[in-house]
Structures are given as structure tokens and as C-alpha cells.
């Protein structure tokens, strides 16, 4: 099958083909898949059969570009229009043990490179060689699986070699509304068995990607149902996950930690579990703040709640709102009020009035509480409150 006509709508690839001439260069992975699904893929993965350094200068002729060559011999080109071009050398892989990164060496053909991939729908390539531009290379019948709406692994033991493929299978299944073929369905048993051998950052990476998906609530729910949280955890309901999705709105990779919070253990060891996770300090803070909130009796007076809240992460409140719907309206109202709760009067003015540093801190906190309760709305009302304090002091 030749796809040259379909590629006419993408002059970028046609120009790339002209620059590279008769070199064996292929666009692989998500681009061919999305082309058949009628979707535009902003990122393009290119596979070459020779040293990638040979292709750097020709590709730079495509226009202004930011270029980076990694230690793993992957070249990344970022173009002003947002398009990302990744260039790698064709390779074959061998997994010495389950769930470890593979040993790699150069492959001798594009077919050999395609057979190492995760699913048939991602194991297609389109030639950019000038003489056969647009020719489809599909050794694993990925196009047929696309037409049938099927996620299919390329070999038995695929999820044993790399359990992260199970998380990706779930992501693709939900994104495209595809089903799993019988072999892939059986592979989930291997993923459940070997997921515990994965390092946490590799699992985190898959959860990050899942948190940007349109059906991310269903993604996290299926990950748990498939046994792919290989540690003690709480079970989150699909309703909680959907509530959190709705509360967060725009989908970002960083949201993964908020969905993850819903699965934190309910045992006494939850804090130690969080402390031992290899996460950024800000991510650990969100999780620890949520654990504290989960155990507290929540005061529904916004002022009292604010005094207890201190410097806790606001994101932790959204997670609490998702798993305690009875508190949702109060927590959202608190967050809305908090945006306008900062005192308008400046500390320097209070100092000029004769208040000490400690007194100024207490006054500003009281004004915040009164604003949250709706008892103060304007700067003039703040000044009236401060005058009442001065009158009280002068009268005592």
C-alpha cells in the first residue's frame, strides 16, 4: 500500500523526503497510526538505518530549529510551529530479565525494528525514501487491527518483558475505544505479576501520560482493577475519579499526583509510604497534606477552617472534595473566598500606627478570617476594624 496521496497534506514530510533523497528513512509509531485514524500527530518519530549524525545537517535545512543529541544517540528537533521530530537508529532489543530496561543493538532492517514494538497498531512505518515515498511497511498487520479496533501485543510474554506496556494498552484502549485481543488480555496476568519489579519512576511516567487523556478517570480505575498498583493501596471508586477529573478541568501531566492521592494506603504506614516515594518535594507535600485532611474532622466555618489549613496545598482540598462529596460545596466556596481574602491594608501602615511585628501578623490573620466569613469586604471596613482595636486598647 502506498500512502503518498495521504501525505500530500503534510508538506513537512515531503520536504524531508526531498532533503534525504534515497536514504532509508521511515516515519514510525504514532504518526502512521494517527494518519489512518484521521488524527493529526504533532510529534514525528523517524527511524534511520545508519548513524543518525549523518542526518542532522540535512534535517536542519527544514528551517529554524532547536536541536539536541542525547547520550543514547537520539536526535530531537523542535520547530517553531510546535512540531517535534525525534530521530533514532533502528534497533533490536533483548530483555535479560523481566521488567528491566532492554539491551539494544542496531537492527539491520526496518522490519526488525518494528517487531520489537509494543502493539501492532504502533508497529507500522511509512517510507520517506524518494523512490518509494509513502510506502507502508506493516509486518504485524497493524492496519488490520486498526480497522478492527483491536489492541494486540506482538508476542507472548510482552508484558513480562516490559510491564509498562500494560499501562499503555489501557491508555490506547480508552483513547481509541478499542478492545484487547485474547493474547493481550492474557498478558495482563503477567503485568500484574511483574509490575512490582518496575521502578517507581517508570510507573509514574505512565501515570503522568494517563493523566492527560480525555478518559483519565477510567484510565486510573482500570489500572487499579488490573492490579497495576503493586503496593498496598486504597481503592478509589470511579465516581471519585470522575469528580476529581471534573474539579481539575484542564488536563495536565502534573495532575497524576492528585489521582494517585486517592489510592494512598489507609493504614498507619501511609505517611512513611509517601516519604519513601522518589517524588518532588511539592508532590510529596500535596500527598502529605491530603493525608492530614483525610484524618481531620473538617470545620465548616471558613474562618476556623482557614486557621487550621495554614499553608496546606490547595490541590489537596480538591482531592478531599472528590472523595467527600458532602464537603464539596464548602471546600470550593472556601477556595473561592480565599482568592479575595488577602488584607488590602499594608503592614507598613500598621507599623506606623504603632503595632508591633507580632501584633501586625495577628491583625492580618484576623482580617483574613473576617473576609472569609463575609464580615469584611472592603479596605475601608478593614480600617474600621483596626480603629476598633485601637479604641479598645485606648479604653483599657
Distance CA 180, CA 315 (A): 35
| Region 191-205 average pLDDT | 98
Distance CA 354, CA 151 (A): 72
For domain 4-148, give the CATH number.
Answer: 3.30.460.10
Q: Is residue 274 pLDDT above 80, yes or no?
A: yes
Burial (CB < 10 A; 0-12, 13-18, 19+), residue 195, is buried
- How does pLDDT run across 307-365, given as a tens digit for each residue? 888 889 999 999 999 999 999 999 999 999 998 888 888 988 888 888 888 888 888 98
Distance CA 204, CA 198 (A): 10
The DSSP element (H or E) to which 179 belongs, if any, is strand 179-180
The confidence score (pLDDT) of residue 395 equals: 56
Distance CA 382, CA 375 (A): 10
The confidence score (pLDDT) of residue 72 equals: 65
| Region 220-237 average pLDDT | 98
The confidence score (pLDDT) of residue 74 equals: 86
Distance CA 368, CA 255 (A): 29
The grid cell for 31 is 504518526
Distance CA 197, CA 99 (A): 6
Q: Is residue 117 pLDDT above 60, yes or no?
A: yes
Q: Is residue 306 pLDDT above 60, yes or no?
A: yes
| Region 239-244 average pLDDT | 98
Q: Is residue 111 pLDDT above 90, yes or no?
A: yes
- How does pLDDT run across 34-78, given as a tens digit for each residue? 999 998 888 899 999 998 889 988 998 888 888 888 766 689 999
Tell me the average pLDDT of the chain.
93
For 283, residues 6+ apart whose C-beta sits below 8 A from its C-beta are: 257
**Residue 301: count of CB within 10 angstroms of its CB:** 13
Across 168-172, 218-222, 300-304, least confident range: 300-304
| Region 364-371 average pLDDT | 90
Instruction: Give the residue range(s) of CATH 3.30.460.10 domains in the chain.
Output: 4-148
What confidence category does residue 233 fall into, taking pLDDT thresholds of 50, 70 and 90?
Answer: very high
The share of the chain scoring above pLDDT 70, in percent, equals 98
| Region 363-385 average pLDDT | 89
The whole model's pTM is what?
0.91
User: Which residues does residue 87 pair with via DSSP β-bridges, in sequence order?
Assistant: 46, 75
What confidence category does residue 10 fall into, taking pLDDT thresholds of 50, 70 and 90?
Answer: confident
- Asked if 290 contacts 259 with a C-beta cutoff of 8 angstroms, the reply is no
At 251 the three-state DSSP class reads coil
The confidence score (pLDDT) of residue 351 equals: 86
The confidence score (pLDDT) of residue 359 equals: 86
User: Which residues does residue 45 pair with via DSSP β-bridges, in sequence order?
Assistant: 28, 86
Amino acid at each position: 500500500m502506498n500512502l503518498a496521496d495521504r501525505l500530500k497534506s503534510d508538506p513537512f514530510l515531503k520536504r524531508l523526503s526531498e532533503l534525504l533523497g534515497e536514504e532509508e528513512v521511515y516515519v514510525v509509531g504514532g504518526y502512521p497510526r494517527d494518519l489512518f485514524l484521521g488524527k493529526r500527530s504533532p510529534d514525528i518519530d523517524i527511524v534511520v538505518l545508519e548513524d543518525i549524525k549523518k542526518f542532522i545537517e540535512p534535517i536542519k535545512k527544514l528551517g529554524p530549529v532547536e536541536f539536541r543529541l542525547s547520550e543514547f544517540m537520539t536526535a530531537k528537533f523542535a520547530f517553531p510551529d510546535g512540531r517535534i521530530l525525534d530521530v533514532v537508529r533502528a534497533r533490536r532489543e533483548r530483555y535479560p530479565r523481566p521488567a528491566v530496561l532492554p539491551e539494544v543493538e542496531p537492527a539491520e532492517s526496518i522490519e526488525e525494528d518494528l517487531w520489537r514494538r509494543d502493539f501492532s497498531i504502533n508497529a507500522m512505518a511509512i517510507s520517506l525514501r524518494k523512490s518509494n515515498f509513502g510506502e507502508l511497511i506493516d509486518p504485524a498487520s497493524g492496519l488490520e487491527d486498526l480497522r478492527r479496533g483491536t489492541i494486540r501485543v506482538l508476542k507472548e510474554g510482552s508484558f513480562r518483558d516490559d510491564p509498562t506496556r500494560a499501562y499503555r494498552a489501557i491508555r490506547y484502549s480508552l483513547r481509541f475505544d478499542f478492545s484487547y485481543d485474547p493474547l493481550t488480555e492474557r498478558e495482563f496476568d503477567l503485568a500484574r505479576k511483574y509490575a512490582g519489579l518496575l521502578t517507581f519512576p517508570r510507573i509514574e511516567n505512565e501515570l503522568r501520560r494517563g493523566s492527560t487523556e480525555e478518559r483519565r478517570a477510567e484510565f486510573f480505575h482500570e489500572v487499579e482493577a488490573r492490579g497495576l498498583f503493586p503496593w498496598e493501596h486504597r481503592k478509589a471508586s470511579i465516581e471519585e475519579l470522575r469528580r476529581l477529573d471534573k474539579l481539575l478541568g484542564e488536563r495536565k501531566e502534573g495532575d497524576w499526583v492528585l489521582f494517585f492521592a486517592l489510592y494512598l494506603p489507609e493504614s498507619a504506614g501511609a505517611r512513611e509510604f509517601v516519604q519513601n516515594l522518589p517524588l518532588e518535594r511539592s508532590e510529596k507535600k500535596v500527598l502529605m497534606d491530603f493525608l492530614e485532611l483525610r484524618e481531620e474532622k473538617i470545620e465548616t466555618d471558613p474562618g476556623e477552617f482557614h486557621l487550621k489549613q495554614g499553608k496546606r496545598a490547595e490541590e489537596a482540598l480538591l482531592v478531599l472534595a472528590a472523595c467527600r462529596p458532602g464537603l464539596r460545596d464548602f471546600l470550593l466556596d472556601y477556595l473561592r473566598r480565599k482568592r479575595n481574602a488577602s488584607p488590602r491594608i499594608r503592614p507598613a501602615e500598621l507599623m506606623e500606627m504603632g503595632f508591633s511585628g507580632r501584633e501586625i501578623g495577628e491583625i492580618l490573620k484576623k482580617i483574613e478570617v473576617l473576609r472569609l466569613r463575609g464580615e469584611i469586604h472592603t479596605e475601608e471596613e478593614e480600617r474600621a476594624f483596626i480603629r476598633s482595636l485601637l479604641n479598645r486598647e485606648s479604653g483599657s
